[in-house]
Amino acid sequence: MGTENNISTSSERMAWRAAQELHDGDVVFVGIGLPNLACNLARATHAPGLFMIYESGAVGAIPERLPVSIGDPSLVTDSLAVVGQADIFQCLLQRGLIEVGFLGGAQVDRWGNINTTVIGDYANPKVRLPGSGGACEIAVHARRLLIVMRMGKRTFVEKCDFITSPGHRMNGKTRAELGLPGGGPTRIITDLGVLDFDATGEAVLSEVYPGVTPEQVRAACGWSLRVADSVRTTGEPDMSVLSLLRERLDPQRLYL
């Protein structure tokens, strides 16, 4: 894809929209995949002071190129510190020092619960997934949680087969009732639009991309998705952002 093509792809729109949620100076726990691209896009544009922490132990990472994994050597160069995973989770995350966390998964429900453990019955699953890693701790402790997932009936489900990472309500109980200290999910950024969470903790469609209707989003969702009274049409990444994504940040199309 050359830069002469000014039509953004769904992956480019998701990375760009996710980057808009990050502010200069935010402390963010960076995930791999599109969240990784979104964080590095934000740092290269409107949030040069974004403080990025990777699960592998890189604190204050400022990679010169897009890291391909949490163990990429580019994360070490010029980082503020490289520490053990125990320090990342116990000294930073569990102390409430992480402002923004990014997660995705195989399933998400209306309350923002995420499944990355199994599809089907836990004892006899159809698919065994990678599991939690640090996802549960991020969902529990981050002050803000952004979920980045492509929308479809198999991924946006009425009920997760297994709750790996808690959202706003699990088995009828709220985060406060369960004693979870973090703020919980604030937005779900999809390839069709953006879902916010209302005062009850339920996901509500608040934005659509140009050319997408609320009806299309509801048809792609596995539950009866509520729609905000006023649904915004979000913008599109401009040519400068597309060139940055395609030529500098991800020329090999690792995430795009």
Quote the distance between the C-alpha of residue 231 and its chain's center: 21
Q: For residue 153, which phi and psi values (nearest 5 degrees)?
A: -65, -25
Check residue 84 and give left, alpha or beta (phi > 0: left; psi -120 to 50: alpha).
beta
Quick one: which of 20, 36, 37, 17 has its CA closest to 190?
Answer: 17
Q: Which of 51, 6, 1 is nearest to 24 (CA)?
A: 51
Are 225 and 217 in contact by the 8 Å Cβ rule? The answer is yes
Q: Are the C-beta atoms of residues 1 and 250 closer than 8 Å to each other?
A: no
Nearest to 242 by CA among 10, 12, 64, 15: 12
DSSP character at residue 31: P
Q: 41, 19 in Cβ contact below 8 A?
A: yes
Residues carrying an active site annotation:
55
- Residues 143/102, Cβ–Cβ less than 8 Å: no
- What number of helices (H) and strands (E) belong to the chain? 7, 16
Give the total residue count for the chain.
256
CA distance 47 to 174: 33
